[in-house]
Amino acid sequence: MTKYLRPLSLASSIIILLVTLWAALLRLGWDWPTFTPQLAGMHGPLMIASFFGALIALERAVALGKTWAYLSPITAVLAGFMMLASGSLLVPAAWLLVLSSALYLLVGAAVVQRQPAIFTWLLEAGVLTLLIGNVIWALGYPIFMAVWWWVAFLVLTITAERLELGRLQRLPAYAFPAFYAVSAITGIGLLLTWLIPDAGVRVLGLGMLGYAVWLGRFDIARRTIRQTGLPQFIAICLLSGYAWLGLGAVLMMFYGQIPAGPPYDAMLHTIFVGFVFAMIFGHAPIIFPAVLGLPINYTPKMYWPLLLLVLSLIMRIVGDVALIRSLRLWGGLLNALAILIFLVITARGIIQLKLSERA
């Protein structure tokens, strides 16, 4: 049965991603048609709680190898479709996302039990932050109160994946206390976003900066960047992602809590687009084969969407910070295009490989 659940969950989450990118562009200010009035406002929860919630939980369900673990990604995509179907389904969908992340927490607990290690605990901490963010949103608080928990979810999950893949260099003794100190600052920052939001976002920014420096210092990418082909491509994705995470962290420390608008856009998307999508570009050759059981055909063409992502994000962030609307609009549009081009190149690579296997 899991043979069907994997491609089905992956295909549905990619549909959610595509609709969410459309929602993002409406939210940015492109005056384009929409099939439902709530679409633009749903961009954030759809992207994180539904799409990433499903994608990452799916990866874990595959690793755990238990059918019940697929309930988490399935409920996340179902909630996404409910949100798109009707505004009246928003509240049940939000609670379904809470259920999905609670199920994912159980999957994480099973993984920790099977393999107690720093990375499994960190993954579980990431799931907890997703769950808390989803509960805050389901209780009806504004998204800017939940969003910092969602930021932590993605940063902790990606850091844990780097640890899991053993892609960190031989760690010196001081690396562990530094890691725990960064994690403690992140935890304190998150709690403060609830109690004293402005100070909380700044402290959380310090934690995020700590993760960016820690990953940049210890990731094996610093060495593999001197290789060629796929390892070099992955290294460039990762190192550019860490730089974006560092910049996002500095913006968080600078601006503090803001409920909406261009600086808010800059703080969030340096991390969500610059860091998270660079990681997806770099990890796709590892994630897709694991989830689908299909290899990915690396091609140097993958550099084009990465380059477009970086340049368009620079445009967007300059537009945000300097309040130049046209730069922000075009930068955001090209961000979405970069993601689409990467998806097309990856899908083409998989199809070509399948066809050549059959021939």
Site residues for ligand HEM per CB under 6 A:
21, 24-25, 27-28, 43-44, 47-48, 143-144, 147, 150, 260-261, 264-265, 268-269, 272-273, 276-277, 332, 335-336, 339
CA distance 205 to 201: 6
Nearer to ligand HEM, 95 or 144 (CB): 144
- As measured in angstroms, the least distance from the Cβ of 359 to ligand HEM is 37
* Min dist. Cβ of residue 270 to ligand HEM (A): 11
Query: Exposed (0-12), middle (13-18) or buried (19+): which is 290, by Cβ within 10 Å?
Result: middle
For ligand HEM, the closer of residues 81 and 144 by Cβ is 144
- Lookup: tokens for 267: 């703080």
> What are the Cα distances from residue 190, in Å, to 27, 261, 343?
26, 21, 33
Maximum separation of any 2 CA atoms in the chain, in Å: 62
Q: Which is nearer to ligand HEM, 56 or 185 (CB)?
A: 56
Q: How far is the CB of 267 from ligand HEM (least distance, A)?
A: 10
Q: Which is nearer to ligand HEM, 5 or 212 (by Cβ)?
A: 212
Contacts of 290 (CB under 8 A, 6+ apart): 59, 62, 63
Of 244 and 277, which CB lies nearer to ligand HEM in the complex structure? Answer: 277
Give 168 or 268: the residue with its C-beta nearer to ligand HEM. Answer: 268
Q: How far apart are CA 128 and CA 109, in angstroms?
A: 11
CB 73, CB 58: distance < 8 Å: yes
Residue labelled with tokens 């932590």:
152
d(CA 234, CA 224): 8
Q: Tokens 């709690």 belong to which residue?
A: 191
Name the minimum Å distance from CB 21 to ligand HEM. 6
The nearest distance, CB 64 to ligand HEM, in angstroms, is: 24
Q: Minimum Å distance from CB 170 to ligand HEM?
A: 32
Looking from the CA of 90 toward its CB, the CA atoms found within 13 Å total 14
Q: How far is the CB of 136 from ligand HEM (least distance, A)?
A: 12
Q: Which is nearer to ligand HEM, 99 or 143 (CB)?
A: 143
Q: Which is nearer to ligand HEM, 5 or 310 (CB)?
A: 310
The nearest distance, CB 273 to ligand HEM, in angstroms, is 5
Tell me if 122 sits within 8 A of 116, measured CB to CB. no
Residue 144 Cα to chain centre, angstroms: 17
Residue carrying structure tokens 């998989």 = 350
- The amino acid at residue 359 is A
Taking the C-alpha atoms of residue 332 and residue 319, their distance in angstroms, rounded to an integer, is: 10
> Minimum CB separation from ligand HEM for residue 338, in Å?
8
Q: What whole-number distance in Å separates Cα of residue 20 and Cα of residue 12?
A: 12
Provide the minimum distance between the beta carbon of 128 and ligand HEM in the complex, in angstroms, as a whole number. 18
Q: How far apart are CA 12 and CA 236, in angstroms?
A: 29
Buried b (16+ CB within 10 A) or exposed e, 292-304: eebebbbbeebee
Q: Which is nearer to ligand HEM, 92 or 261 (CB)?
A: 261
For ligand HEM, give the closer residue by CB, 121 or 194.
Answer: 194
Round to whole Å and give the CA distance between 15 and 203. 36
Residue number, nearest CB to ligand HEM: 44
